[in-house]
Amino acid sequence: MEADFVIVGSGSAGSALAYRLSEDGKHSVIVIEFGGTDAGPLIQMPSALSIPMNMARYDWGFKTEPEPHLGGRVLATPRGKVVGGSSSINGMVYVRGHARDFDHWAESGANGWAYADVLPYFKRMETSHGGEEGWRGTDGPMHVQRGTGANPLYKAFIEAGRQAGFQTTQDYNGSKQEGFGPMEQTIYKGRRWSAANAYLRPALKRPNVRLVKGFARRVVIENGRATGVEIETRGQMQVVQARREVVLAASSINSPKLLMLSGIGPAAHLREHGIDVVADRPGVGQNLQDHLELYIQQESLKPITLHSKLNWFSKGLIGAQWLFLRTGLGTTNHFESAAFLRSKPGVDYPDIQYHFLPAAMRYDGKSAAKAHGFQAHVGPMRSQSRGAVTLRSGDPADKPKIQFNYMAHDEDWADFRHCIRLTREIFGQDAFGDYRGREISPGSHVQSDEQLDAFIREHVESAYHPCGSCRMGRADDPTAVVDPQTRVIGVEGLRVADSSIFPRVTNGNLNGPSMMTGEKAADHILGRALIAPSNQEPWINPRWQVSDR
């Protein structure tokens, strides 16, 4: 139980790290994962995406504390407890984030993580099927595709955006994010292309990589240096020794929890739980961010939605077609149209994201509307609200306390009201004329600010993009947790490389940026020369100062 590098977590970043750290054969790698296998159709069949997310077998089962601005609601915070981590239970939506997101990281102290620096790593990790030439990778482990767009509602959504005066884009992961266009998926040959399929399985074929099943309890730190990870496996305590470094890639919930259990965090909080302080880092667990979204649902006058496929007979046929032929509706996540829009003049890059679905149902698969319908998932991307992950006790078996402090600012409410009204405007365009029935949710009677706020308070959901809880920043920044080389400040031989180090949430889904973080961190860890920065300039709307479109 000893290796040069010990990685905690086999998710998006951890799998990429294992692949790159072991690539030249010179270093041994152990990946610690508490979850079990990702084999089987529930995970590998893309259209089954709502099932594993709601299974205790695959999900850590985290929940928030009662959220004060949402009437005390408790929201689910799913994180993957399975090989591949959250990339094995997510919605398979692929978004890099906007160039300006990464420039903001660099400006806030994550030097070397500007868009010019990270674009080459996004290219290295991808094989893009249908993306913009010159902006996308062509031979990386992560396959990215578009859906077939067979359902006419996907095209109607894009056309409605154009009719409303917005931009369109052929590739929101290319030079131009802003606008309506096809959505990208981490699906390949009809299968979920998780970080486990892309990175971990190829890595495990190498003699220098091992996967160890165990529950990580704490990082072992001797004389200020991380020397291993204490794990519980089959009821026994063991230490997995790291000859060179320990890397936490355990998620924005478990990475700060592990740091605090290991004595790294806000000193008073650690002492309160009887933990000896190794490094007083007040930022550990702070700066927690997420995206929220609403489902705006419209009845469809034509019976062309997924509603007719929700019976057991149709599901059986779809499952059989997928199992034996890898074709049909089982091969898509059903998110095949998207939009990235700016909320108002003076916003220089998109701060609203849309996922469009030709069905009216919840992400967790529950309470499908009783009729044919379609929906847009919509939410603002850059809320000022910040929360925290803290310890419930000093016992590693206890789940941490998670408080996002959602909707803490007046601006959050104004942004969401705008999102609802904007979606109504888009659904009201001629492109939807042949399909548009009554509004299912919120319902056409919900119009005033007060009515919209009540709907938001009751129905807003997490988009499951938690990040930021071990913020990357300058080594002399007292609130930063890791430096721009991903080293934990104040401890030798320990790094964090996952979405917890994001200074600010990127606009879009986090699987892509998390894998990029693993890719880039591997070069820092190995002391390799970084890939030369890109000189490509992303498209910014020339009208951004005067118009939202």
- DSSP reduced 3-state for 4: strand
> What would be the CATH architecture of the domain defined by 148-182+292-380+408-459?
2-Layer Sandwich (3.30)
CB 333 within 8 A of CB 47: yes
Summarize the confidence of residues 371-388 as an average pLDDT. 97
Summarize the confidence of residues 43-61 as an average pLDDT. 94
**Amino acid letter, residue 513:** P
Confirm whether residue 385 is marked as ligand binding: no
Q: What is the pLDDT of residue 65?
A: 98
Q: What is the pLDDT of residue 367?
A: 60
CB 31 within 8 A of CB 196: no
CA angle 335, 385, 494 (to 5 degrees): 85
Confirm whether residue 14 is marked as ligand binding: yes
Paired strand residues for 188: 191
Confirm whether residue 26 is marked as ligand binding: yes
Question: Per the omega criterion (within 30 degrees of 0), is the bond before 442 cis?
Answer: yes
Confirm whether residue 82 is marked as ligand binding: yes
CA distance 137 to 127: 5
Confirm whether residue 434 is marked as ligand binding: no
Q: Kindly tell me the sign of the dihedral angle through the C-alpha atoms of 431, 434, 440, 444.
A: positive
Q: What is the pLDDT of residue 167?
A: 98
Asked if residue 27 has pLDDT above 70, the reply is yes
Confirm whether residue 448 is marked as ligand binding: no
Confirm whether residue 277 is marked as ligand binding: no
Residue 374 zone, left/alpha/beta (φ > 0; ψ -120 to 50; rest) = beta
| Percentage with pLDDT > 90 across the chain | 96
Q: What is the pLDDT of residue 149?
A: 94
270-304 residue pLDDT tens: 999 999 999 999 999 999 999 999 999 999 999 99
Q: What is the pLDDT of residue 310?
A: 82
CB 520 within 8 A of CB 118: yes
**Residues catalogued as catalytic:** 465
